Amino acid sequence: MAESYNVKEIEAKWQVRWETEGLYQVDNDDPRPKVYILCMYPYPSGAAHQGHVRNYTFGDLIVRYRTMKGDAVLSPFGFDSFGLPAENAAIKTGIHPRVFTGERIAELKDSVRKLGAVYDWRREIKSHDPSYIKWSQYIFTKFFEAGLAYKKNAPVNWCPGCQTVLANEQVLADGTCERSGDLVIKRDLEQWFLSTTKYADELLDDLDQLDWPERVKTMQRNWIGRSYGTKFSMQIEGRDGLFLEVFTTRPDTAFGMTYAVIAPEHPMIEELTTTGCRQEVESFRAEALERSDIERQSTDLNSKTKRGAFTGSYAVNPFTNKRVPIFVADYVLMGYGTGAIMAVPGEDQRDYDFAKTYGLPIIRTVRPPEDFQGEAYTGVGEKINSEWLNGLEIDEAKAKANEFLVNIGLGQTTTEYRLRDWLVSRQRYWGCPIPIVDCQNCGLVPLPLDQLPLLAPDDVEFLPTGESPLATHRNFKYTTCPNCGGEAIRETDTMDTFVDSSWYFLRFCDPTNDQLPFSQEAIKTWMPVDQYIGGIEHAILHLMYARFFTKALSDLGYLSNDIREPFSRLFTQGMIRLGGSKMSKSKGNLVAPQKYFDTVGADSLRLFHLFVGPPADDFDWSDQTDDVIEGCFRFLNRVWRISLGEAESFPGVKIEITDRQLNDADTEVLRQTHRLIAKVSEDYERWSYNTAVAALMEFTNLLYKYGGASAERSTFTFAVDTLVKLLAPMAPHISAEIWERRNGGFVHAQKWPIADPELLKADRETLVVQVNGKVRDKIEVDPLIDEPTAIALVNQSEKVAAAVGGKEIKKMIVKLPKMISLVV
RNA sequence: GCCCGGGUGGUGGAAUGGUAGACACGGAGGACUCAAAAUCCUUUGCCCCCAAGGCGUGCGGGUUCAAGUCCCGCCCCGGGUACCA
């Protein structure tokens, strides 16, 4: 370990100073321009890990930078403190989740402070705090009253590991739980939902206006999955008044329908199955329903093998008045469209595969290109085999087919979504209780505001039963109706913790309001969040739920109408991997920040995270990483020595300061200082922190040479003070200490320096001379050199002459003062 | 399969179509020291004894005076997503 400045003493000193001085506390009536910077509030799982460090380092840099630029920066912090780990710990150890969570919060808060990240702690929020629960429940109640929260019986995702239901979004593609990794099964349960689908269009369309990473927007678009299509009914042959409704996005292909398919769960399956086919259909259906979703959806193994059975019934194609057989098959899902399709094997690969398996006819209705090699053809082309649609392009044919269906009264256009309503009830204890009672007389009744917050009792038994511990707590469960006073049963499920995180950023604007979740004025002051920073893992879940809440609360009048989106800009940082997988507590591959706090300090660790690569990129932690962190520490020590080298003496550091008229060397350093200001400011704005750090290092190296060779006093002072100011958002402790020792006061209260455009101009430029695209000479020239002078210099160059070799110059491209390119 | 990213020295990474490899890690050498650590300085893409020169940004083509950067076709790696009709 290097001999160095006193890391621990200095870092501890400034962490206290920033809080006692209230440098980063902002009031809602602050006159400065307002900016809201927010890192996703964490689940408190104990001391911060490197992912947190990275996140809060970026956030803190922006907060300090914008503050120096003169803005009032809202930078709050809180804890997403409801959740499963605390309850699982309670089941295991008997420690109450509140006690367990309190300890984890204290650890996390301590390490966040040790990182030197500054927040307005007066605004701290904890999801499990009664003052927060109260308003979560209030909002739920308002949603219920507005018809946005409702209860229904539905087949839901049940995770045996977590002993609770999950939202669709929480089930991974392979059918496992995103939390526990257990295989999720289907169960029919009475559950609470929030009507996210009511906002499907807006959630989709408003993505366009957001300054978010394109891939996050794409993921949300795919998740919402809007498709425009047609629903139409087909008469069942020989069954008067019985119709099968199907959904298609390609009504133009109806002439190519050679069969129809219903999902195994389709309600008409009984009616449609004839006696002769009953046995086969029944056994197929039983088999299909038993198959788990993963099996049913696994395409890698059986993509070409579609399973199904003939029902014995026929549907009449309204376009041809010909009958087609109706099959039941599990490649059709009950949850989408009408749970029934018209099958067009010529233009749909799944239908094609099924048709091949069952020997059904295949008719093309779009002419594929001559060289088409595939099976089903989904591209553009001319309509064929389609009577009155023949010759048309697909879009025209779609319109005509729709018109036809509307005219005969059998169909209409419609929009379908992949998005489902959000299932929010959880059979767990450590979450926000749902403030509804079920009254024998009045039905579902929300608790009035004066009875909120409804808090879960402490004296419950934590057992892995699959039911909320609240359900076995008689005093909690049995209650009276707030409406009529009659007997009532309390809802014993709690809310998904994503409910808490869907509005916390609003509460930060007005965290102590005891009349409302937040006031309109406070929201107007701060919202929307100008910069939101967090992990890509929340691309769909949290970010879409928060958007939904914002829109719903806006419609309910809690936000001003113009606030329809919570997060104007989103930045998703790269993750930190170790040994090929994401560094996380559950994987047990953490490299704890504490050991760096204890040795090289928080500043070095922060600098490392900024320096190691583009913030959006993933980073692989390796054996060399400690060396790089050490390198950052070395750099900070170099800054320490060069800036305090006059006051103290350091081995090997030689600084000679003189008073004199500025010479060329001094002017050059002055220029470089202004260039540094421009470079670092620009890099801060474009999230290019690694290059900003590199520029600071380069400049420090320059100062060593300058100081060693005799520096002019005012130039050197200006250069060093500028360096310290530019470094202050990145490595706040050491910058604060150096500044105080040199100048007194707070570096973070200084104005961000502004580069003088005059001094940004170089006094020499390197003119590169290319011959046939190859660099043949470099000539130092005046930046304002004119073309004849430059050409004259080029003509004097022996290297250029050698490369030209007496050949004729056909062309000359001149881009002064940087480049002249000769073509011979 | 589809949709995004990404392939640049030993390593992490720089580079508005205009000097490829900034900065750092690691390596080599030197100064200081009784010695070491720390510090400071020099050097470090490859070929070549050196120089001159040549070769170099996953592969193959193309556009251009000029391509890591733009276009076309591939290969590999990472992530997301998946019977959504």
**Residue A76 has which token pair?**
């709050």
Quick: pLDDT tens for A722-767: 999 999 999 999 999 999 999 999 999 999 999 999 888 877 788 8
Nucleic strand B under 7 Å from the C-beta of A582: no
Q: Residue A799: enclosing H or E segment and its boundaries?
A: helix A798-804
Q: What is the pLDDT of residues A124-146, one digit of tens each?
A: 999 999 999 999 999 999 999 99
Cis peptide, bond prior to residue A85, ω within 30 of zero: no
Inform me whether the pLDDT recorded for A180 exceeds 80.
Answer: no
Q: Is A510 helix (H, G, I), strand (E, B) or coil?
A: coil
In this prediction, residues A707-717 reach a mean pLDDT of 91
Q: Which has more confidence, A330 or A646? A: A330
Q: Indicate whether A2 pLDDT > 50.
A: no
Check residue A300 and give its pLDDT.
Answer: 42
**Is residue A623's beta carbon less than 7 angstroms from any atom in nucleic acid strand B?**
no
pLDDT at position A769 is 87
Pairing verdict, β A227-236 and A308-317: antiparallel
The pLDDT of A32-56, averaged and rounded, is: 94
Q: How far apart are CA A671 and CA A605, in angstroms?
A: 31
A561 pLDDT above the threshold of 80: yes
Mean pLDDT for chain A overall: 90
DSSP state of A170: G
| Nearest nt to the A354 alpha carbon by C1' | B83
| AA letter at A113 | R
More confident residue, A317 or A770: A317
User: Residue with structure tokens 């269906």?
Assistant: A405
d(CA A331, CA A345): 14
Q: Is the CB of A587 under 7 A from strand B?
A: no
**What mean pLDDT do residues A189-210 have?**
91
Q: Find the Å distance, CA of residue A662 to C1' of nucleotide B1.
A: 68
How far apart are the C-alpha atoms of A315 and A233, rounded to whole Å? 9
Q: Which of A284-288, A369-373, A759-763 has the lowest mean pLDDT?
A: A369-373
Q: Parallel, antiparallel, or unpaired: how do β-strands A149-159 and A185-194 relate? A: antiparallel
pLDDT at A814 over 70: yes
Q: What is the pLDDT of residues A765-810, one digit of tens each?
A: 888 888 888 888 888 888 888 888 888 888 888 888 887 877 788 8
Give pLDDT tens digits for A595-636: 999 999 999 999 999 999 999 988 989 888 999 999 999 999
Greatest mean pLDDT range, A216-225, A420-429, A522-531: A522-531
Query: What integer pLDDT is reported at residue A333 of this predicted model?
Result: 86
Buried b (16+ CB within 10 A) or exposed e, A531-563: bbbbbeebbebbbbbbbbbbbbbbbeebbeeeb
CA A362 vs CA A145, A318, A329, A338, A346: distances in Å: 52, 18, 18, 23, 5
Of chain A residues 222-261, which have a beta carbon within 7 Å of strand B?
222, 225, 227, 229, 247-250
Nucleotide nearest to A214 (CA to C1'): B4
In this predicted model, which residue has the larger pLDDT, A813 or A316? A316
User: Which residue lies nearest B31, CA-to-C1' measured?
Assistant: A652
* Chain A span 492-531 residues with beta carbon within 7 Å of strand B: none
Look at residue A795 in the predicted model and tell me its pLDDT.
84
Q: Other C-beta atoms within 10 Å of A31: how many?
A: 7
- pLDDT (average), residues A647-671: 86
Buried b or exposed e, range A367-389, using 16+ CB within 10 angstroms: bbeeeeeeebbeeebebbebeeb
CA distances (Å), origin A518, targets A60, A121, A149: 25, 18, 21
Q: pLDDT above 70 covers what percent of chain A?
A: 97
Task: Quote the pLDDT of residue A106.
Answer: 97
Residues A115-133, buried b or exposed e (16+ Cβ, 10 A)? bbbbbbeebbbbbbeeebb
> Which residues does A204 contact at the CB level (< 8 Å), separation at least 6?
A220, A221, A224, A226
- CA distance linking residue A738 with residue A10, whole number of Å: 10
- In this predicted structure, which of A526-535, A575-584, A653-662 has the lowest mean pLDDT? A575-584
Q: On chain B, which bases lie within 7 A of the protein's CB atoms?
A: 3-5, 10-15, 18-20, 22-26, 31, 37-41, 53-54, 65-67, 78-85
Please give the nucleotide, over all strands, whose C1' is closest to the CA of residue A612.
B12
Q: Is the CB of A292 under 7 A from strand B?
A: no
What is the complex's ipTM, to 2 decimals? 0.94
When pLDDT is cut at 50, 70 and 90, the band that residue A350 belongs to is: confident
Asked whether strand B has any atom less than 7 Å from the CB of A336, the reply is: yes
pLDDT score, position A765: 80
Residue A278 contacts strand B, CB under 7 A: no
CA of A731 to C1' of B34 (A): 40
Give the separation between CA A544 and CA A551, rounded to whole angstroms. 11
Tokens of A558: 């809690």
List, for residues A380-431, the tens digit of each pLDDT value: 888 999 999 999 988 899 999 999 999 999 999 999 998 889 989 888 899 9
Distance, Å, A545 CA → B13 C1' = 36
Q: What residue has its CA nearest to the C1' of B39?
A: A652
pLDDT of residue A813: 86
**How high is the pLDDT of residue A296?**
55
Distances (CA, A) of A316 to A150, A245, A475: 38, 11, 60
Predicted local distance difference test score (pLDDT) of residue A291: 65
What is d(CA A771, CA A540) in angstroms, rounded to the nearest whole number?
53
